[in-house]
Chains A and B, each alone.
Chain A
Amino acid sequence: KQEVTQIPAALSVPEGENLVLNCSFTDSAIYNLQWFRQDPGKGLTSLLLIQSSQREQTSGRLNASLDKSSGRSTLYIAASQPGDSATYLCAVYTGANNLFFGTGTRLTVIP
């Protein structure tokens, strides 16, 4: 069974700092990996989706990488801002449209 782990569970950084969030998964037979952002009391917003054949995706200050063979992904956030404070979830797509989520990393960016 696919298991997705995210480290660290919580992270506090001062504004302007670059940071990396980690995600690992146990079964490398995935179709793609997705990073989501979740704000308190709100649903999930998709940030980046990396196909299994890709190594990375970039959107603005965000860069996500995927090493499928080792079962790892990272989300790099450059020049962090207080508005980046949220919980970040990674999820892997397996067959039959199943999304397996990690437990999330709660990020706090301190002004």
Chain B
Amino acid sequence: EAGVAQSPRYKIIEKRQSVAFWCNPISGHATLYWYQQILGQGPKLLIQFQNNGVVDDSQLPKDRFSAERLKGVDSTLKIQPAKLEDSAVYLCASSYPGLITDTQYFGPGTRLTVL
């Protein structure tokens, strides 16, 4: 079974630029999550999708971050404009069928550096 795929793996941009990350979850997984992991901290949930609908985006900085999951499969996370404090690893995870006791499977992450 293929795992969660993310691209790019690394991205370096200057502040105020825009950036987008892509995630392809495990086939058949209805629930998709985006996490932000700042160096030395644990991952923090940014947004959770169930199919193509948003379940929780309470910690997503909506003035600059946006995410979509068209067709309920792949997802993109965008930052516009980026700030220095956005430097982090952005992790995508998926689960099926998204039950409370279900395990989330994580992708390798995208390491973003904002200069």
Interface residues of A (CB under 8 A from B): 4, 31-32, 34, 36, 41-46, 49, 51, 89, 91, 93, 95-104
Beta-carbon nearest neighbor of B3 in chain A: A43
Residues in B15-40 with C-beta less than 8 Å from chain A:
31, 40
In the complex, are the beta carbons of B101 and A31 less than 8 A apart? yes
A40 CA to B95 CA in the complex, in Å?
Answer: 23
Q: Which residues of chain A are within 8 angstroms of B12 by Cβ–Cβ distance?
A: none
**A–B complex contacts, Cβ < 8 Å, 19 sampled:** A41-B108, A42-B108, A43-B106, A43-B108, A43-B109, A44-B91, A45-B106, A46-B103, A51-B101, A89-B42, A95-B100, A97-B48, A97-B98, A97-B100, A99-B104, A100-B42, A101-B42, A101-B43, A102-B42
A98 CA to B33 CA in the complex, in Å?
Answer: 10
Q: Which residues of chain B are within 8 angstroms of A99 by Cβ–Cβ distance?
A: 43, 45, 104
Contact of B103 (CB < 8 Å), options: A49, A98, A101: A49
Q: Which residues of chain B are within 8 angstroms of A51 by Cβ–Cβ distance?
A: 101
Distance in Å: Cβ of A23 to nearest Cβ of chain B: 11
Q: Which residues of chain A are within 8 angstroms of B55 by Cβ–Cβ distance?
A: 96-97
Indicate with 1 or 0, residue by residue over B75-115, a CB within 8 angstroms of chain A CB atoms. 00000000000000001010100101111111111010000
B14 at the A/B interface (Cβ < 8 Å)?
no
Contact of B41 (CB < 8 Å), options: A36, A91, A103: A103
Q: Which residues of chain A are within 8 angstroms of B106 by Cβ–Cβ distance?
A: 36, 43-45
Beta-carbon nearest neighbor of B41 in chain A: A103
Distance in Å: Cβ of B100 to nearest Cβ of chain A: 5
B4 at the A/B interface (Cβ < 8 Å)?
yes
Beta-carbon nearest neighbor of A101 in chain B: B42
Given contacts A44-B93, A101-B42, 4 further A-B contacts (CB under 8 A): A42-B109, A95-B100, A97-B95, A97-B98
Beta-carbon nearest neighbor of A106 in chain B: B40
